[in-house]
């Protein structure tokens, strides 16, 4: 199995000098190595996977050199439009190498949200005409696959994918030291919000560790999760689920626990919420400046003030807090204020190593919430 360093050198030796993408848990070692060793003018952590395809397109137009785009297979949905209507050889014909983490690979255990995606990954690539090779675990064979993919992409002016199974690239996360910042953890923030909202308030929790932490808080407290929608996929869409709930029953307060990476992935959602202006929607952005659920790679949020963005988009109230006491006070104010409102909570990265997962299925979570909303 090649290490992240060897995999990176293999791509570099083959001619790859530009990287763009959205971090993935299976590709965590490679993503971290790229983040630590490639300068910002040749590596961009994109807002979403479609944006990464466009970045590689721009790089090729400027230099004539194909780039590498890394993504989880779930991100193929975001990448589909530019792959078909921009990079395809029937349109502009842009060569690039896609490095696709294969979550939900058939025959391997994975979480429910990855199973259908894993089964349809190769058929999906076939359907859109993107040739692919599956990364082997052998180091020498891996190098041959990389060279073959890049040669085909260059010869045929098209994207070519390398589908990477679990464990095909080994290594650790980023070794880059983080800058000093807030001490508040996401789990404490999730607990504080959940404990402070009203008894009729619904909560939509974004995918990843946020939903897991909310679930564990309910379990510790002996409470049901019936009022919570615990997202396990569809990164970036939590606020629009919450908007759909809020518009359907203006009398019921709806809170959304969102993440900085998720908001950035589909930032236009802020404008849609501002346009419809539901008075009962409270948007909490848990901002630790990293993609925490897939390895801690930085998000492009270091200079982004989500509170200011929300006000510009039409939210009626927006604030930023960075400690537990201020958070509890702000939640109290937001309960009484007319929305839509956004509360940015600045956090330190990281989570408990023993953080569990919901024991209920997504369908059970759906049914329990729907019954609760109708009572």
Residues 202 and 269 in one domain: yes
Residue 174: inside a domain, yes or no?
no
Specify the pLDDT at position 176: 52
Let me know if residue 173 belongs to a domain: no
Mean residue pLDDT across the chain: 92
Q: Which DSSP state fits 167?
A: T
Residues 160 and 190 occupy one common structural domain: no
As a whole number of angstroms, the distance between CA 313 and CA 341 comes to 11
pTM over 0.85: yes
Give the pLDDT band (50/70/90) at residue 182. confident
Q: What angle do CA 85, 91, 92 make, to 5 degrees?
A: 105
Which of 164, 194, 226 is the last residue in one of the domains? 164
Tell me the CA distances in angstroms from 372 to 210, 212, 280, 366, one per residue in order: 21, 20, 18, 10
Q: Count how many domains the chain has.
A: 2
Residue 282: per-residue pLDDT: 98
Q: Are 232 and 272 in contact (CB under 8 A)?
A: no
* 134 lies in the same domain as 198: no
Taking 3-state DSSP, the helix, strand and coil percentages for the chain, each rounded to the nearest 5, stand at 45, 15, 35
CATH of the domain at 302: 3.40.50.970
Q: What is the pLDDT of residue 161?
A: 98
Question: What phi and psi, each to the nearest 5 degrees, are found at residue 257?
Answer: -95, 105
Same domain, 153 and 69: yes
Residues 221 and 112 in one domain: no
Same domain, 340 and 225: yes
Of 132, 164, 196, the residue at which a domain comes to its end is: 164
Residue 345's pLDDT is: 96
pLDDT band at 243, cuts 50/70/90?
very high
Looking at the domain assignment, is residue 181 inside a domain?
A: no
Whether the pLDDT of residue 110 is over 80: the answer is no
Q: In this structure, is residue 65 part of a structural domain?
A: yes
* CA separation, residue 163 to residues 45, 108, 125, 324 (Å): 19, 15, 10, 43
Beta strands 290-291; 297-298: pairing state: antiparallel
Give the model's pLDDT for residue 360.
85
Share of the chain above pLDDT 70, in %: 98
With respect to residue 64, please indicate whether it lies within any of the assigned structural domains.
Answer: yes
Q: Residues 106-116: what's their mean pLDDT?
A: 80
Q: Give domain status of residue 55, yes or no.
A: yes
SS (H, E, C) 56-111: HHHHHHHHCCCEEEEEEHHHHHHHHHHHHHHHCCCCCCCCEEEEEECCCCCCCCCC
Task: Estimate the crossing angle of helix 268-276 against helix 238-248, to 10 degrees.
Answer: 10
Residue 335 pLDDT more than 90? yes
| Inside any domain, residue 172 | no
Question: 10 Å Cβ neighbour count for 204?
Answer: 28
Residue at 145 is within a domain: yes
The pLDDT tens digits of the residues spanning 170-179 come to 887 554 545 5
**Domain assignment of residue 327, given as a range:** 186-374
**Residue 207 sits in the same domain as residue 138:** no
* Tens digit of each residue's pLDDT (9 = 90 or more) over 117-168: 889 999 999 999 999 999 998 888 999 999 999 999 999 999 999 999 998 9
């Amino acid at each position: 199995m090649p290490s992240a360093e060897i995999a990176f050198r293999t791509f570099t030796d083959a001619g790859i000098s530009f990287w763009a993408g959205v971090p993935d848990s299976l590709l965590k070692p490679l993503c971290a190595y790229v983040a630590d060793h490639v300068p910002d003018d040749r590596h961009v952590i994109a807002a979403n996977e479609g944006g990464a395809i466009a970045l590689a397109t721009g790089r090729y137009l400027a230099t004539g050199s194909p780039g590498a785009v890394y993504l989880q297979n779930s991100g193929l949905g975001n990448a589909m439009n530019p792959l078909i209507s921009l990079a395809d050889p029937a349109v502009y014909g842009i060569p690039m190498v896609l490095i696709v983490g294969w979550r939900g690979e058939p025959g391997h255990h994975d979480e429910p949200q990855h199973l259908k995606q894993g089964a349809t990954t190769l058929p999906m690539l076939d359907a859109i005409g993107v040739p692919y090779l599956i990364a082997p675990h052998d180091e020498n064979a891996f190098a041959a696959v990389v060279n073959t993919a890049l040669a085909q992409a260059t010869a045929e002016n098209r994207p070519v994918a390398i589908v990477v199974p679990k464990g095909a690239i080994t290594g650790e996360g980023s070794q880059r030291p983080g800058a000093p910042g807030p001490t508040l953890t996401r789990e404490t923030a999730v607990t504080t919000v959940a404990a402070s909202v009203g008894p009729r308030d619904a909560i939509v929790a974004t995918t990843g560790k946020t939903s897991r932490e909310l679930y564990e808080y309910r379990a510790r407290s002996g409470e049901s999760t019936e009022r919570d929608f615990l997202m396990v996929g569809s990164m970036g869409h939590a606020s629009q689920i919450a908007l759909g709930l809020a518009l359907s029953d203006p009398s019921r307060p709806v809170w959304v626990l969102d993440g900085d990476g998720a908001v950035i992935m589909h930032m236009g959602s802020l404008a849609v919420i501002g346009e419809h202006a539901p008075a009962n929607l409270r948007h909490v952005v848990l901002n630790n400046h990293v993609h925490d659920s897939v390895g801690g790679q930085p998000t492009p949020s270091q200079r982004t003030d989500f509170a200011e963005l929300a006000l510009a988009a039409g939210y009626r109230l927006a604030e930023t807090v960075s400690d537990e006491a201020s958070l509890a006070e702000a939640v109290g104010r937001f309960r009484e204020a007319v929305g839509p409102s956004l509360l940015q909570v600045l956090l330190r990265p990281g989570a408990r190593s023993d953080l569990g997962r919901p024991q209920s299925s997504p369908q059970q979570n759906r049914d329990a919430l729907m019954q609760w909303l109708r009572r």
